[in-house]
Amino acid sequence: MKTTANLTAALAATLLLGGVAHAQEKKVIAVSIPAADHGWTAGVVYHANAAAEEINNAFPGVEVIVKTSPSASAQVSAIEDISAGRGMDALVILPHSSEELTSPVKQIKESGTFITVVDRGLTDPTIQDLYLAGDNIAVGHTTAKFLVEKLGGKGNLVVLRGIPTVIDDERIKGFEDGIKGSDLKILDIQYANWNSDDAFKVMQDFLSKYPQIDAVWANDDDMLLGVLEAMKQSGRTDIKYALGGNGMKEIIEKVMAGDPVTPIETPYPPSMIKTAIYMTAAQFTGQAPIRGTVKLDAPLITKENAGEYYFPDSPF
């Protein structure tokens, strides 16, 4: 497994080696992603547009088209419009929802289109030629192991989770498995909808209910921002660690600065969409077409390696 940065660099080199020989055939790669309705998806849009610009400039035989959609129904309409109009040789899709997009993508697949699915899978995985996602279980597990070590295997924890999804379930499972065998106790777990304002309210409730909290895990960085603000306003000094996940640049900056409360991070980078686009383009311009499933690493981000995960121009 590789990080997105290393994998994208390797794919870019592959494209450069193979691109000239295939420049005569114009290939259309459609990229369908959710609109930027929160920090992580804003990052997805940023990296998708960056990949499209780079590939379109470097390879005249390939055209990457990026379409954003505010809802699942809008996303269905967008990919149907592209398919009926210009047609597409490949579709890279990060689905709004698995169920609503499965049938429309299947129809496109049956027309001979190469299908790359990113992050949220379809209900029928046989449709995809390539699937790429981060390791959600590792996001939770890596964070848990850090807390077990730093808290000496004992202490009181509170946990904020996102929305009821497979992604969220996997993060929680990884975290709970990571603290097994220790004396770390989860006092409370509440949904905060991957939203900073909701997390602020949930954390305020935790602070009023529990006089001793040793650490907080918000399984997404948007929520972590709300947690940190609630902690700041409370003036509490008992909380040793407040950790998140996903690699938001504001949190990476804290890690780079050696923040004692948020000294580490785990990546679930929106830049995975860029990697997926490069891997898809390699089907047409590279010498080694890629198929199957790729799961990206979720290593511990520390002060020493945080610079590798920092994208200052990204909105996330």
Domain regions of the chain by residue span:
4-134+269-298, 136-256
In CATH, what is the architecture of 136-256? 3-Layer(aba) Sandwich (3.40)
252: pLDDT strictly greater than 90: yes
Fold identical between 4-134+269-298 and 136-256?
yes
Question: What is the pLDDT at residue 53?
Answer: 97
Question: What is the pLDDT at residue 25?
Answer: 61
Separation of alpha carbons 149 and 164, rounded Å: 29
Give 20-31 pLDDT, tens digit per residue: 434 456 899 999
Minimal CA–CA distance to 96: which of 114, 132, 122?
Answer: 122
Neighbouring C-beta atoms of residue 181, cutoff 10 Å: 9
Q: Which two tokens stand for residue 1?
A: 């497994």
Domain 4-134+269-298 in CATH 3.40.50.2300: yes
Burial code (b: 16+ CB inside 10 Å, e: under 16) for 89-123 equals bbbbbbbbbbebbbebbeebbeeebbbbbbbbbbe
Place of tokens 């379109």: 56
**What mean pLDDT is predicted for residues 193-197?**
90
Minimal CA–CA distance to 158: which of 211, 105, 106?
Answer: 211
Separation of alpha carbons 299 and 231, rounded Å: 27
pLDDT band at 160 (very low <50, low <70, confident <90, very high): very high
Question: What is the pLDDT at residue 97?
Answer: 84
